Protein backbone atom coordinates (compact mmCIF):
# COMPACT_ATOMS: atom_id res chain seq x y z
CA UNK A 1 0.00 0.00 0.00
CA UNK A 2 1.41 3.43 -0.88
CA UNK A 3 2.87 5.44 2.03
CA UNK A 4 0.58 8.39 1.30
CA UNK A 5 -2.53 6.29 2.03
CA UNK A 6 -3.66 6.42 5.66
CA UNK A 7 -6.25 4.06 7.16
CA UNK A 8 -8.18 5.56 10.07
CA UNK A 9 -11.49 5.44 11.88
CA UNK A 10 -14.36 7.41 10.40
CA UNK A 11 -14.52 10.98 11.71
CA UNK A 12 -16.82 13.95 11.22
CA UNK A 13 -14.37 15.13 8.54
CA UNK A 14 -14.66 11.89 6.53
CA UNK A 15 -18.38 10.99 6.88
CA UNK A 16 -19.48 12.70 3.66
CA UNK A 17 -16.53 11.25 1.71
CA UNK A 18 -17.40 7.76 2.96
CA UNK A 19 -21.07 8.18 2.01
CA UNK A 20 -20.00 9.36 -1.44
CA UNK A 21 -17.77 6.32 -1.81
CA UNK A 22 -20.62 3.97 -0.86
CA UNK A 23 -22.77 5.65 -3.53
CA UNK A 24 -19.93 5.11 -6.05
CA UNK A 25 -19.91 1.43 -5.03
CA UNK A 26 -23.67 1.22 -5.66
CA UNK A 27 -23.20 2.76 -9.12
CA UNK A 28 -20.30 0.38 -9.84
CA UNK A 29 -22.02 -2.81 -8.70
CA UNK A 30 -25.20 -2.02 -10.68
CA UNK A 31 -27.36 -4.21 -8.46
CA UNK A 32 -30.38 -3.08 -6.49
CA UNK A 33 -29.44 -3.55 -2.84
CA UNK A 34 -32.85 -2.50 -1.50
CA UNK A 35 -33.01 -5.85 0.36
CA UNK A 36 -30.12 -4.48 2.47
CA UNK A 37 -32.06 -1.24 3.14
CA UNK A 38 -29.13 0.70 1.69
CA UNK A 39 -30.94 4.05 1.38
CA UNK A 40 -31.93 3.90 5.05
CA UNK A 41 -28.34 2.98 5.93
CA UNK A 42 -27.01 6.02 4.05
CA UNK A 43 -29.66 8.32 5.50
CA UNK A 44 -28.60 7.36 9.04
CA UNK A 45 -24.91 6.71 8.28
CA UNK A 46 -22.86 5.67 10.23
CA UNK A 47 -25.40 4.50 12.86
CA UNK A 48 -25.17 0.75 12.17
CA UNK A 49 -21.36 0.86 12.47
CA UNK A 50 -21.19 2.78 15.76
CA UNK A 51 -18.75 1.91 18.53
CA UNK A 52 -18.43 -0.06 20.72
CA UNK A 53 -19.88 -3.00 18.72
CA UNK A 54 -19.17 -1.62 15.26
CA UNK A 55 -16.52 0.30 13.37
CA UNK A 56 -16.08 2.06 10.06
CA UNK A 57 -12.66 2.71 8.56
CA UNK A 58 -11.60 4.89 5.66
CA UNK A 59 -8.48 5.02 3.53
CA UNK A 60 -7.42 8.58 2.81
CA UNK A 61 -5.11 10.13 0.27
CA UNK A 62 -4.69 13.58 1.78
CA UNK A 63 -8.23 14.80 2.41
CA UNK A 64 -9.82 12.47 -0.18
CA UNK A 65 -11.56 9.30 1.00
CA UNK A 66 -10.43 6.61 -1.47
CA UNK A 67 -11.53 3.43 0.30
CA UNK A 68 -13.76 2.22 3.11
CA UNK A 69 -14.90 -0.79 5.11
CA UNK A 70 -17.23 -1.34 8.04
CA UNK A 71 -18.13 -3.95 10.61
CA UNK A 72 -21.29 -4.51 12.58
CA UNK A 73 -22.44 -7.03 15.16
CA UNK A 74 -24.80 -9.71 13.82
CA UNK A 75 -24.80 -12.21 16.69
CA UNK A 76 -23.12 -13.18 19.93
CA UNK A 77 -19.40 -13.14 19.13
CA UNK A 78 -20.10 -12.69 15.40
CA UNK A 79 -19.61 -9.58 13.29
CA UNK A 80 -20.01 -8.86 9.61
CA UNK A 81 -17.67 -7.01 7.27
CA UNK A 82 -19.56 -4.57 5.04
CA UNK A 83 -18.92 -2.00 2.32
CA UNK A 84 -15.31 -2.83 1.44
CA UNK A 85 -14.66 -0.64 -1.57
CA UNK A 86 -11.75 1.23 -3.15
CA UNK A 87 -12.04 3.92 -5.84
CA UNK A 88 -11.20 2.59 -9.31
CA UNK A 89 -8.08 4.72 -9.73
CA UNK A 90 -6.67 3.35 -6.46
CA UNK A 91 -7.36 -0.34 -7.08
CA UNK A 92 -4.44 -2.75 -7.39
CA UNK A 93 -2.30 -0.93 -4.81
CA UNK A 94 -3.08 -3.10 -1.78
CA UNK A 95 -5.55 -0.64 -0.25
CA UNK A 96 -8.40 -3.16 -0.19
CA UNK A 97 -6.17 -5.68 1.59
CA UNK A 98 -5.01 -2.98 4.00
CA UNK A 99 -8.61 -2.08 4.84
CA UNK A 100 -9.63 -5.74 5.21
CA UNK A 101 -6.66 -6.46 7.49
CA UNK A 102 -7.46 -3.39 9.59
CA UNK A 103 -11.15 -4.27 10.02
CA UNK A 104 -10.23 -7.86 11.00
CA UNK A 105 -7.92 -6.39 13.67
CA UNK A 106 -10.75 -4.15 14.87
CA UNK A 107 -13.04 -7.18 15.16
CA UNK A 108 -10.44 -9.11 17.17
CA UNK A 109 -9.88 -6.10 19.45
CA UNK A 110 -13.64 -5.93 20.07
CA UNK A 111 -13.65 -9.57 21.16
CA UNK A 112 -15.47 -11.10 18.20
CA UNK A 113 -14.67 -14.76 17.52
CA UNK A 114 -15.94 -14.89 13.92
CA UNK A 115 -16.36 -12.47 11.04
CA UNK A 116 -18.75 -13.08 8.16
CA UNK A 117 -19.40 -11.37 4.86
CA UNK A 118 -21.36 -11.82 1.70
CA UNK A 119 -20.07 -11.04 -1.77
CA UNK A 120 -20.70 -12.07 -5.36
CA UNK A 121 -18.86 -14.76 -7.30
CA UNK A 122 -18.57 -12.32 -10.22
CA UNK A 123 -16.40 -10.15 -7.96
CA UNK A 124 -13.58 -12.65 -8.32
CA UNK A 125 -10.78 -10.36 -7.15
CA UNK A 126 -12.62 -9.55 -3.92
CA UNK A 127 -13.55 -13.19 -3.24
CA UNK A 128 -9.93 -14.24 -3.88
CA UNK A 129 -8.75 -11.59 -1.40
CA UNK A 130 -11.18 -12.82 1.26
CA UNK A 131 -10.04 -16.41 0.80
CA UNK A 132 -6.38 -15.34 0.95
CA UNK A 133 -7.20 -13.65 4.27
CA UNK A 134 -8.54 -16.95 5.62
CA UNK A 135 -12.26 -16.65 4.92
CA UNK A 136 -14.00 -19.90 4.00
CA UNK A 137 -17.32 -20.44 2.22
CA UNK A 138 -20.30 -21.17 4.46
CA UNK A 139 -24.04 -21.55 3.96
CA UNK A 140 -26.30 -18.56 3.52
CA UNK A 141 -26.60 -16.65 6.80
CA UNK A 142 -28.37 -13.49 5.65
CA UNK A 143 -30.99 -12.56 3.06
CA UNK A 144 -29.41 -12.08 -0.35
CA UNK A 145 -31.56 -12.86 -3.40
CA UNK A 146 -28.71 -12.39 -5.90
CA UNK A 147 -27.99 -15.61 -7.84
CA UNK A 148 -24.22 -15.63 -7.48
CA UNK A 149 -24.05 -14.54 -3.84
CA UNK A 150 -21.32 -16.20 -1.81
CA UNK A 151 -21.13 -16.28 1.98
CA UNK A 152 -17.83 -16.43 3.84
CA UNK A 153 -16.60 -16.65 7.42
CA UNK A 154 -13.28 -16.33 9.21
CA UNK A 155 -12.39 -17.55 12.69
CA UNK A 156 -10.69 -14.67 14.48
Q: Which domain holds residue 109?
A: 5-113
120 falls within a domain: no
132 falls within a domain: no
139 falls within a domain: no
Which of 5-19, 121-135, 141-155 bottoms out in mean pLDDT, i.e. has the lowest?
Answer: 141-155
Could you report the per-residue pLDDT of 46-56, keeping only the tens digit for each? 999 999 999 99
Residue 39 pLDDT grade (very low, low, confident, very high; cuts 50, 70, 90): confident
Helix (H) or strand (E) holding 114: strand 114-120
Higher-scoring residue by pLDDT: 135, 145: 135
Going by C-beta distance under 8 Å and a sequence separation of 6 or more, which residues neighbour residue 116?
74, 78, 79, 80, 81, 138, 141, 142, 151, 152, 153, 154
> Is there a contact between 7 and 58 (Cβ–Cβ < 8 Å)?
yes
Q: Is a pLDDT exceeding 60 seen at residue 36?
A: no
99 falls within a domain: yes
48 falls within a domain: yes
149-155 sheet: strands from edge to edge: 5-9, 55-61, 64-75, 78-86, 114-120, 149-155, 136-138
Q: Is the pTM of this model over 0.85?
A: yes
Q: Domains in the chain: how many in total? A: 1
Q: Is a pLDDT exceeding 80 seen at residue 155?
A: yes
> Is there a contact between 72 and 57 (Cβ–Cβ < 8 Å)?
no
> CATH code at 65?
3.40.630.30
Amino acid sequence: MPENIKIEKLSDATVEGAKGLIRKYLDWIQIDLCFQHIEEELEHFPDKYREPEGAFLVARDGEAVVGCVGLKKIGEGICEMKRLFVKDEYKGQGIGKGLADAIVREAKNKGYSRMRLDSLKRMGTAVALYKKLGFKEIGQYVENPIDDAVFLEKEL
